[in-house]
Amino acid sequence: MDDPKKTNGATPTDESRKKPIADQVTDVAADAAAELASTAVKALAEGAQKAIKKRTPKPIKKAVATVTEAADRGRARKAGKGRKAPKRAGKAAAKKAKKSKKSAPKKSARKAAGKSAKKSARKIAKKTAARSGTTSRTKRAKSRR
């Protein structure tokens, strides 16, 4: 029923009446071969999938399972929601969002930034000293004299 070429066997089509009998037999044989080939290909594909499943490591299988579960949950949420009007946030939520934007960086972040600035300054000093052929210590010693 899925294939438009196939008929229920009740009446032959006009096209098949006009064809010689040899061509009709050839068409039937070709259709049969196509069906056999498609089932063979499906069987091979199933066997290949089973072989791949046997040889994949368990951590990869677990990761694939979690990803597919998450995707299914996302699809279920989208399907369940439909097209509803978006909810508006209250004033309290807006105030919280503003406060969180203004928060200062943590102490550890400031320390790391200071250290990286010092390191980069040292690197630049070393590079310029290497170009001029003197080090920062020798420059200090010369300036003291």
12 φ, ψ (degrees, to nearest 5): -75, 150
* DSSP three-state, residue 145: coil
Q: Which residues contact 126 (CB under 8 A, 6 or more apart)?
A: 136
Q: State the pLDDT at residue 69.
A: 93
Q: State the pLDDT at residue 101.
A: 54
pLDDT of 10 higher than 80? no
- Do residues 50 and 58 touch, judged by C-beta distance below 8 A? no
- Do residues 143 and 137 touch, judged by C-beta distance below 8 A? no
Q: What distance in Å separates the CA atoms of residue 107 and residue 105, rounded to the nearest whole number?
A: 7
For the segment 13-24, the average pLDDT, to the nearest whole number, is 78
- pTM of the complete model beyond 0.85: no
Mean pLDDT taken over the chain = 75
The ranges assigned to domains in the chain are 14-81, 105-144
106-129: per-residue pLDDT in tens? 666 666 666 677 777 787 888 777
CA distances from 134 to 5, 64, 73, 78, 145 (A): 89, 59, 65, 67, 16
- Do residues 5 and 31 touch, judged by C-beta distance below 8 A? yes
